[in-house]
Chains A and B, each alone.
Chain A
Amino acid sequence: MESAEKHARRNKIITHVVLIIVSFIMLVPFAWMILTALKTNQESISVNPFYIFPHNGWHWENFATVWKSYNFIILYKNTLLMIFFRVVCACLTATMAGYAFGRLRFPGKKVLFTMVLIQMMVPAQIFIIPQYLMVSKMGMLNTTFGLVWPGIVTAFGTYLLKTGYEGLPMDLEEAANIDGCSIPGRFLHIMMPLTRSSMVSLGIFTAVFAFKDLMWPMIVCPKAECTTLSAGLAKMQGQYGSEYPTMMAAATLAVLPMVIIYVIFQKQFVEGIATSGGKL
């Protein structure tokens, strides 16, 4: 019995060592971003690796400079609004289509699903110009909904949720079918709640992609009052004549809400185990 306990302990230690090493590798750019934000401009452009830490004092004022020169409140608000609309729209359309592709038989299913896959196979650059023209012709430039527009449906999410629905046991739905539950009823009350963790993953991905996208907000919302964080910091991130410390301070401030959102969503994940099969 004692040896089993020892064994378990050793396993635990190995696990932690592995995780800590990987964490370190994953953390490097993030740490570097914050450390650069605290350096002077001179220090930041020297590529000598032995100056990892700022050696002329820690320049917290870089954050203050950035915070003052941008209206972060508005930028956060726009970004969160865009993410909210995109996540809700993408999750709903994808969960419906995913259920149909994963569970139902209908004519043209293969062709339609191939179309979903094709959307992922072509470089995203070819979509920009037509989508921009659509938004422009609808008079939606410089609006939050213009930002949301290309994200209302998602091919990736449809495929993800199709996989989620396919993985559920067949007997559940058959039982419901015998009970006389209609297809929408089965979908809403039985199947959809069970794919909750796939939906959370999709929500996280939609949010991250929407958040990181720089080009779309940049051309659709050039006005400072209605653009998102990533594009709002355009001046700061301009490659030419830029100052790394302020730029990195801006990048850090921009990333923080995303990290917070993930931490909150993650709680959903963990709780998901206990209440799996519960309501959505």
Chain B
Amino acid sequence: MSKKMTPAAKNEAKWGLIFVAPTMIGLIVLNFYPIFNTIYQSFCKTGDFGKGNTFVGLANYQKVLSSSETWQSLWNTIKYALIEVPFGIVIALLLAVLLNKKIAGRSIYRTIFFLPMVCAPAAVAMVWKWLYNTQFGLLNNVFHAKIEWISDPNIAWISIGVIGVWSIIGYNMVLFIGGLQEIPGDYYEAASIDGASGVRQFLSITVPLLSPTTFFIVQTRIIGALTVFDLMFMVLDKTNKALKSVQSIVYLFYQYAFTNGNKGYGATLVIVLLVFILIVTFILQQIEKRVVYHN
């Protein structure tokens, strides 16, 4: 601690550290120890039939960075994020604004939009596989087409993105509703008295006051989309023709670290992804300073 700090600033620093202590201790024990472990593993060639770890230096990094598979799956992940993040957020915001008004049956609507979040993942996967089925699927039957929704490399990434948007809307909506609730109602009353229309109110009150929440959702959803896994995990399998052009980087990590037992290579993929997301986050934080409204 520097001597320049005023007593008030010292007091603030003390309470700040006390308040973050439980969370930080928990995160270090539960999460940072495993992360450091992973970093260490990325320099190792791990367990072959009980023969133990061997330190191989940067060999894994060399392999990962020179493999076209890595860059292809990183690109796939970005493509997925480009569908999921904007669509998921815009649709959820519109729904949240509609449901924040006093309309009949809004609690029923909210509950319905929340349902996909609690649905058994197995049920979700089966429904979508059924919808997308080439022979009997509902989509192909309705459009009288023979489109291979999830095994045609040109289409599959969009189909997967659609499932992603579908399953994230309810989630974003709950957050947006939370944010909308925190906007004081008198702001709108004042605006109504001044004769501002609904759209004007939305643009001049809702958008700026909701911008911290929106930024939070953008930031967490970008992280979420770049680490997408569960969805691919349920829908894709090894025999899928389009696998190479849709698999995300975490899916690739899973294939190496879990299915093939090559933990060192998998750990290296995680570190590469982590560095990439950190760069994206740094750029986002710079944007936040200019765009987000703080009162």
Decide if A and B touch, CB cutoff 8 A.
yes
Q: In this complex, what residue of A is CB-closest to B9?
A: A105
- Cβ-defined partner of B213 (8 Å) among A15, A26, A163: A163
Q: Is the interface of A mostly helix, strand, loop or mixed?
A: helix
Q: Nearest Cβ in chain A — how far from B116, in angstroms?
A: 6
Q: Interface-forming stretch among A59-67, A73-81, A107-115?
A: A107-115
Bound Cα distance from A200 to B37, whole angstroms: 34
The answer to whether B278 and A118 have CB atoms under 8 Å apart is yes
The answer to whether B107 and A159 have CB atoms under 8 Å apart is no
The answer to whether A259 and B20 have CB atoms under 8 Å apart is no
Whether A25 touches B166, Cβ cut-off 8 Å, given contacts A123-B229, A152-B26, A197-B181, is yes
A143 an interface residue at 8 Å Cβ cutoff? no
The answer to whether A153 and B223 have CB atoms under 8 Å apart is no
The answer to whether B174 and A201 have CB atoms under 8 Å apart is yes
B155 an interface residue at 8 Å Cβ cutoff? no
Interface flags, A68-99, vs B, CB<8A=1, else 0: 00000000000000000000000011101101
The answer to whether B138 and A251 have CB atoms under 8 Å apart is no
Whether A112 touches B181, Cβ cut-off 8 Å, given contacts A104-B15, A155-B27, A255-B118, is no
User: In the complex, which of the residues B1, B14, B212, B281 has the most CB atoms of chain A within 10 Å of its own CB atom?
Assistant: B212
Whether A118 touches B274, Cβ cut-off 8 Å, given contacts A97-B23, A125-B254, A208-B118, is yes
Bound Cα distance from A264 to B31, whole angstroms: 32
How many chain A residues touch B (CB < 8 A): the figure is 99
B283 an interface residue at 8 Å Cβ cutoff? no
B45 an interface residue at 8 Å Cβ cutoff? no
A41 an interface residue at 8 Å Cβ cutoff? no
Whether A106 touches B136, Cβ cut-off 8 Å, given contacts A26-B113, A170-B295, A255-B118, is no
Interface flags, B115-153, vs A, CB<8A=1, else 0: 111111111101110100101111001000000000000
**Chain B positions within 8 Å of A156 at CB level:** 220
The answer to whether A183 and B34 have CB atoms under 8 Å apart is no
The answer to whether B27 and A123 have CB atoms under 8 Å apart is no
B85 an interface residue at 8 Å Cβ cutoff? no
Interface flags, A25-40, vs B, CB<8A=1, else 0: 1111110110010000
**Chain A positions within 8 Å of B98 at CB level:** 15, 18-19
Q: Nearest Cβ in chain B — how far from A121, in angstroms?
A: 4
Q: Nearest Cβ in chain B — how far from A177, in angstroms?
A: 9
**Chain A positions within 8 Å of B212 at CB level:** 163, 166-167
**Chain B positions within 8 Å of A259 at CB level:** 111, 114-115, 118
Bound Cα distance from A198 to B170, whole angstroms: 16
B74 an interface residue at 8 Å Cβ cutoff? no
The answer to whether A211 and B118 have CB atoms under 8 Å apart is yes
Q: In this complex, what residue of A is CB-closest to B94?
A: A18
**Chain A positions within 8 Å of B9 at CB level:** 105
The answer to whether B181 and A272 have CB atoms under 8 Å apart is yes
A122 an interface residue at 8 Å Cβ cutoff? yes
- Cβ-defined partner of B227 (8 Å) among A123, A273, A276: A123
Bound Cα distance from A150 to B26, whole angstroms: 9
The answer to whether B136 and A47 have CB atoms under 8 Å apart is yes
Bound Cα distance from A253 to B111, whole angstroms: 17
B194 an interface residue at 8 Å Cβ cutoff? no
A241 an interface residue at 8 Å Cβ cutoff? no
A221 an interface residue at 8 Å Cβ cutoff? no
A204 an interface residue at 8 Å Cβ cutoff? yes
The answer to whether B15 and A126 have CB atoms under 8 Å apart is no
Q: In this complex, what residue of A is CB-closest to B13?
A: A106
Binding site for A on B (CB under 8 A): 1, 9, 11-17, 19-20, 22-24, 26-27, 29-35, 37-38, 91, 95, 98-99, 101, 103-104, 107, 109-124, 126-128, 130, 133, 135-138, 141, 166, 169-171, 174-175, 177-179, 181-182, 184-185, 209, 212-213, 215-216, 219-220, 223-224, 226-227, 229, 250, 253-254, 257-258, 267, 270, 273-274, 277-278, 281, 294-295
Known: A49-B130, A106-B16, A276-B185. 8 other contacts (CB 8 A): A123-B250, A153-B22, A153-B30, A167-B182, A168-B182, A212-B118, A251-B119, A263-B107
In the A-B complex, the 9 residue pairs with the closest CB atoms: A106-B16, A153-B26, A100-B19, A251-B120, A104-B16, A97-B23, A201-B178, A197-B181, A106-B13
